[in-house]
Structure 1
Amino acid sequence: MMATPFPVAHRVAWLLAGVLVLAMVAVAALQQHTAPRVSVPADAGETSAATRRVAGRLLGVNWVAADSASSQDMEPLVRAHVTWIAQTPFGWQPDAAQPQVRLHTGAGSRNYWGESDRGLIRTALLARQRGIRTMLKPHLWLRSGGTWPGDVSMRSEADWQQWFAAYTTFIVHYAALAETNGMEALCIGTELEKTVSHEAEWRALIERVRQVYHGPLTYAANWSGEFEQVKFWDALDYIGVQAYFPLSTTERPTKAALLKAWRTPLARMAAVQKRYGKPVLFTEAGYKTTPDAAIQPWVWPDRNALPTTPDETTQRVCYEAMFETFWPQPWFQGIFIWKWYPGLQPSGSARRHLDFTPQHKPAEQVMAQWYGK
Structure 2
Amino acid sequence: MIWWTIPEEQLLETAEKWKGVCWVGSRAPLEGNELRALKATGANALSQTPFGWQNGVNNPEIRWEVNAERQWWGETAKGIQATHDSSQVLGIMNMLKPHLWVRGSWPGEIEMLDEGDWELWFENYRGFILDYAKLAESLKIPMLCIGTELEKTSQREEDWRKVIAQIRKVYSGKLVYAANFTEFDKIKFWDELDYIGIQAYFPLADKHNPGLEELKAGWEKQMPKIEKVVRKYKKPVIFTEIGYCNTVDAAIEPWVWPNERMEVEFSEAAQARCYEAFFESAWPKSWLAGVFFWKWYPNRHDREPDFTPQGKEAEAVMTKYFSIE
Task: State TM-score, norm by structure 1.
Answer: 0.80
Equivalent position of 2:100 in the other structure: 140
1:97 has 2:54 as partner: no
Structure 2 partner of 1:233: 190
Q: Is the 8 Å Cα contact of residues 42 and 322 (structure 2) preserved in structure 1?
A: yes
- Find 2:48's aligned residue among 77, 87, 92: 87
AA paired with 2:134? A
1:326 and 2:282 equivalent?
Answer: yes
**Deviations for 1:38-93, whole angstroms, at most 9, x for unmatched residues?**
xxxxxxxxxxxxxxxx9521110000111222321111111101111100000111
Change in Cα spacing, 1:80 to 1:187, as seen in structure 2 (3 Å) is same
Task: Identify which of 150, 153, 157 aligns with 2:111.
Answer: 153
Q: Is the 8 A contact 1:286 1:339 kept in 2?
A: yes
Distance across 2 between alignment mates of 1:304 and 1:270: 32
Displacement of 1:302 after TM fit?
A: 2.8
Q: Report the identity percentage.
A: 45
Aligned to 1:103, what secondary structure does the other structure show?
A: coil
* C-alpha RMSD of the superposition: 1.5
* Deviations 1:222-241 (CA, angstroms, capped at 9, x unpaired): 012x1011100010011000
Q: For 1:216-295, what aligned pairs fall within 5 Å after superposition? A: 216-224=174-182, 226-295=183-252
2:125 pairs with 164, 167, 191, which one? 167
Distance in 2 (CA, whole Å) between partners of 1:366 and 1:349 is 20
- Contact 1:107/1:115, CA 8 A, preserved across alignment: no
Structure 2 residue identity aligned to 1:193: E
Cα distance in 1 for residues equivalent to 2:98 and 2:157? 20
1:106 equivalent in structure 2: 67
Q: Is the 8 A contact 1:71 1:127 kept in 2?
A: no
Where do 1:199-210 residues align within 5 Å? 199-210=157-168
Deviations 1:195-253 (A, max 9, x none): 011101101110110111111100000012x1011100010011000001111111000
Rg larger in structure: 1
Give 1:371's match in structure 2, choosing from 318, 322, 325: 322
Within 2, Cα distance between the matches of 1:302 and 1:135? 27
Q: Which amino acid aligns with 1:232?
A: F
Q: Displacement, 1:327? A: 2.1
For residues 304 and 267 of structure 1, do their structure 2 counterparts lie closer, same or farther at Cα, with a shift above 3 Å needed?
closer
Q: Which amino acid aligns with 1:321?
A: A
In 1: Cα distance, 2:259 partner to 2:153 partner: 30
SS in 2 for 1:296: coil
Return the structure number with greater relative CO, CA threshold 8 A, min gap 6. 2
Counterpart of 2:33 in 1: which secondary structure?
helix
Counterpart residue number, 2:299:
343
Q: In the aligned structure 1, how far is the partner of 2:303 from the partner of 2:188? A: 42
What is the deviation of 1:265? 1.0
Query: Equivalents in 2 of 1:114, 1:301: separation in Å?
Result: 22
Whether 1:214 and 2:172 are equivalent positions in the alignment is yes
SS in 1 for 2:244: coil
Q: Indicate how the Cα distance of structure 1 residues 107 and 343 shifts in structure 2: closer, same or farther if over 3 A, else same.
A: farther
Change in Cα spacing, 1:180 to 1:323, as seen in structure 2 (3 Å) is same
Corresponding position of 2:37 = 76
- State the distance in 1 between where 2:134 and 2:107 align: 23
Q: Residues 186, 304 of structure 1: CA spacing in aligned structure 2 closer, same or farther, 3 A cutoff?
A: closer
Question: Is contact 1:70-1:126 (8 Å) kept?
Answer: no
Misfit runs of 4+, over 4 Å:
none
Whether 1:65 and 2:18 are equivalent positions in the alignment is no
Q: Which residues of structure 1 form unaligned runs of 5+?
A: 1-53
Q: What TM-score results when the alignment is normalised by the length of structure 2? A: 0.92
- For the 8 Å contact 1:62–1:338, the answer to whether it is kept is yes
Matched letter for residue 317 of structure 1 = R
Matched with 2:6 is: none
The answer as to 2:270 corresponding to 1:314 is yes
